[in-house]
Amino acid sequence: MPKIKIDQFGKELEAKPGENILEVLQREGIDINAYCGGFGYCGKCLIKILKGNVAQPTAQEIKHLKEKISQGYRLACQAQIIEDIEIDIHDSITQKVEVLAESGEAILEELPVKKINIQLKKPSLNQSLSLEEIAENQLPTSPFVRNWTIQALQELSRIENQDEKSFEIGFDEKQIYWTNSDVKKASFLGIAFDIGTTTLACELLDLETGSTLYRAGALNRQASFGADVLSRLRAIQDNQGALSDLQELLLSSMNDLIQEACQKTGNDPNRILSVMVAGNTIMEHIFLGVSPISIGTAPFTPVFCRSYHTSARRLHLVIHPEARVYIFPSVAGYVGGDIVAGIGAHDLENNNSTLLYVDIGTNGEIVLSDQGKIYCCGTAAGPAFEGAQIKHGTRATLGAIHQVEIENSELKIYTIGDVAPRGVCGTGLIDALACLIKGGSIASNGRLQKDNHLLSSRIQAEGKSPYFVLSHDPQIIVTQEDISQLQLAKAALQAGRKVLLHQAKREESDIDQVILAGAFGSFINPESAMTVGIIPRVETVLSVGNASLLGAKKALLSKVFREKVENLAKKAQYVELSARADFQEYFYEALIFEKN
């Protein structure tokens, strides 16, 4: 078997016959960028061969890499291994997401799952009671609880055996889930998850105080199947085992975060007894191992929209096996539990103005709240803003150009970590586009124009395909194709909100406030977003950060909030854009860049 040596790791990996480099790396758990899931289409899985040979470059490699091939650069997903090689994966290695959007504060109300400590009364010969009955009689809500999990019975029987009669008991109005006699381990923990297509975020909470103990983010390991949800749906459609592979990747990403959070805070994962999961509908399907492929094609029907309860055991989450896992209800295939959590967290249904809530992640969801009436839709706005399908696009990691401004008629760029630029991320792209619009270097149809404008010196028109230079050395550019991608994405968002406004019999000018949710929304420059047309021009733009995670946290700490989101999901009016004739009209209109 040929071997792959990786410079950075001092590791040697064995390749199986016929494998390409990406397959070996993924098998070994080494994440590198592979937005398109290994189809040679995104060009992001760039690696360099330091020693040895791989098979002849494919057409895709020649298209993406051109003369770089002679320097040893190859696409990992295309390069077939034929002998021992040594490679450098530095250009595409996935770094820990460095920018974690804030989520906000949640308040401890009535916990959905309660815990109390009791002293088990001694059974007596004269009373024919079982231990479960004796324990229930000591619970405050005793008349309602008449059902234990098997695990809780098992734990109860162990308590009796140890003659340690003081113990804690976890229950809600339906069931008693767990008991524990080791009362020293006093912490009672919960964890809230936002499971996104690209990234996961979580917060570990102390359920007794409501305080956040730890926040962490990570890439969703599923990204190895492709950056956007459609590539994952394709994999599930094509391949029998892909669904369970995807589920496992998601769960292992979550388990890693759990482990990280517990290690860093010195907590025992077995003390995590409540979990809230908010994700888009497809992620929630995969989380439960339910095939989401019916969402992929019209009429985009999900298998379920309701919230579900299950146990950590059922999903192999490495926490207390009877920990309650709650999955947020969603509204439709493209308006998921993450949106429900977010709009719940920001109380959109109890608001008597007209609000627009926009969450741009891998997809773009739009919610219009008109005096508390909720309309919502989903658009395919995503991947371009995450740097996928963009020539020098990158995620918001070290070295990404995340801010672009014109200062004293000069273009200024800023990178994450203030290091040499490695690419441009979504917020940088929007800024760049806004600069071009303001500078007059872009026609209303999106065409770069090298006229007598402010940025003319940075616009190159090599043959028929012009581009905009953000950095000369290393060269980071925005191509005409990149601009087209962004144009399509902004048009989708713009047309989507027009349909919702039409549905609510409102005008764009009626909107009082825009709420930008999600990591992207929290770092984007609102002025640039308005200039480009991603959001309408309004007085107040509020960047709320990870609203979904805030909603998940609130649900962890409040039963009332959980009931509220259940209702919200039911009453939100979903508008299926593809069923609307007016959407196409709005969309074509929205392709125009207006100099506003």
Positions touching its own copies (CB under 8 A) are 123-126, 128-134, 146, 148, 150, 153-154, 156-158, 160-161, 237, 285, 288-294, 298-306, 308, 310, 314, 331-332, 574, 576, 578-579
Q: Which does 517 bind (CB under 5 to 8 A by kind): its own copies, ligand FES, none?
A: none
Tell me if 259 sits within 8 A of 299, measured CB to CB. no
In the complex with its own copies, the residue whose CB is nearer, 157 or 265, is 157
Q: Which residues bind ligand FES (CB under 6 A)?
A: 34-36, 38-45, 75, 77
Task: Please provide the size of the chain in residues.
Answer: 596
Partner whose footprint covers residue 131, from its own copies, ligand FES, none (CB < 5 to 8 Å by kind) = its own copies
Q: Which of residues 45 and 332 has its CB atom nearest to ligand FES in the complex?
A: 45
- Rg of the chain (C-alpha set): 26
Q: Nearer to its own copies by C-beta: 144 or 300?
A: 300
**Residues 168, 250 contacting (CB under 8 angstroms):** no
Q: Which residue has the tokens 């749906």?
A: 233
The minimum distance between CB 451 and ligand FES, in angstroms, equals: 36
* Shortest distance in whole angstroms from residue 81 CB to ligand FES: 15
Partner from ligand FES, its own copies, none contacting 214, C-beta within 5 to 8 A by type: none
CA dihedral sign of residues 560, 563, 567, 568: positive
Which of its own copies, ligand FES, none has residue 89 at its interface (CB below 5 to 8 Å by kind)? none
Question: Which partner from the list ligand FES, its own copies, none does 65 bind, CB cut-off 5 to 8 Å by kind?
Answer: none
Question: CB 261 → ligand FES: shortest distance, Å?
Answer: 30
Is residue 420 classed exposed, middle or buried when 0-12, 13-18 and 19+ CB atoms within 10 A define those classes?
Answer: exposed
Closer to its own copies by CB, 95 or 310: give it. Answer: 310
Backbone angles phi, psi at 396, to 5 degrees: -75, 65
Widest Cα–Cα separation across the chain:
100
Q: In angstroms, give the least distance from the CB of 43 to its own copies.
A: 31
Q: From ligand FES, its own copies, none, which one binds at residue 161 (CB under 5 to 8 Å depending on kind)?
A: its own copies
Alpha-carbon distance of 161 to 283, in angstroms, equals: 43
Comparison of 179 and 198: residue with beta carbon closer to its own copies = 179
H-state helical runs in 127-168: 131-137, 150-162
Residue (250 or 486) nearer to its own copies, CB: 250
- Are 427 and 522 within 8 A, CB to CB? no
Count Cα atoms within 13 angstroms, Cβ side, for 565: 36
Q: Name the residue nearer to its own copies (CB basis): 42 or 504.
A: 504
> Residue 342: which of its own copies, ligand FES, none does it interact with, CB under 5 to 8 A by kind?
none
- Residues 370 and 573: beta-carbon distance below 8 Å: no
Measured CA to CA, the distance from residue 530 to residue 380 in angstroms comes to 19
Closest CA to 564 of 553, 574, 575, 555: 555
Place of tokens 């800023």: 414
Q: How many C-beta atoms lie closer than 10 Å to residue 18's C-beta?
A: 8
* CB closer to its own copies out of 59 and 298: 298
Compute the least distance from the CB of residue 46 to ligand FES, in Å.
8
Tokens of 161: 């055996």
Stretch (H or E) spanning 427? helix 426-439
As measured in angstroms, the least distance from the Cβ of 47 to its own copies is 35
Of 303 and 413, nearer to its own copies (C-beta) is 303
Interaction partner, residue 414 (ligand FES, its own copies, none; CB < 5-8 Å by kind): none
Name the residue nearer to its own copies (CB basis): 11 or 165: 165
In the complex, the smallest distance separating the C-beta of residue 43 from ligand FES, rounded to whole angstroms, is: 5
Sign of CA dihedral 191, 545, 98, 49: positive
Residue found under tokens 């200062």: 407
Say which DSSP state 489 is in: H
Residue 396 Cβ vs ligand FES, minimum distance, rounded to whole Å: 19
Looking at the Cβ atoms of 13 and 75, the one nearer to ligand FES is: 75
Residue 429 to residues 106, 278, 387, 523, Cα–Cα distance (Å): 33, 28, 8, 12
Q: Where does 371-512 show beta strands of DSSP type E?
A: 373-379, 400-407, 410-415, 423-424, 459-462, 465-471, 476-479
In the complex, minimum distance from the CB of residue 509 to its own copies, in angstroms, rounded to a whole number: 29
Q: Minimum distance between the CB of residue 113 and its own copies, rounded to whole angstroms? A: 18
Taking the complex as a whole, the smallest distance from the CB of residue 3 to ligand FES amounts, in Å, to 21
Taking the CA atoms of 349, 354, 355 and 356 in sequence, report the sign of the dihedral they define: positive
* Residue 43 binding: pick among ligand FES, its own copies, none (C-beta 5-8 Å cut-off by kind): ligand FES
Q: How far is the CB of 16 from ligand FES (least distance, A)?
A: 19
Chosen from its own copies, ligand FES, none, partner binding at 45 (C-beta under 5 to 8 Å by type) = ligand FES
Q: Which is nearer to its own copies, 285 or 554 (CB)?
A: 285
Give which of ligand FES, its own copies, none residue 304 binds (C-beta under 5 to 8 Å, depending on kind).
Answer: its own copies
Q: What H or E segment, with its residue span, contains residue 234?
A: helix 229-238
As measured in angstroms, the least distance from the Cβ of 170 to its own copies is 17
Contact 462, 452 (CB under 8 A): no
Q: Which is closer to its own copies, CB of 207 or CB of 317?
A: 317
Contacts for 432 with CB less than 8 Å, ≥ 6 apart: 404, 424, 468, 470, 478
| From ligand FES, its own copies, none, interface partner of 490 (C-beta below 5 to 8 A by class) | none
Q: Are 14 and 65 in contact, with CB atoms under 8 Å apart?
A: no
Neighbours of 138 (CB within 10 A): 13
Q: In what order do the strands lie in the sheet with 114-119?
A: 114-119, 166-171, 176-180
- Residue 77, binding choice from its own copies, ligand FES, none, Cβ under 5 to 8 Å by partner class: ligand FES
Looking at beta carbons only, is 227 or 565 nearer to its own copies? 565
User: Which of its own copies, ligand FES, none interacts with 82 (beta carbon under 5 to 8 A by kind)?
Assistant: none
Closest distance of CB 297 from its own copies, Å: 11
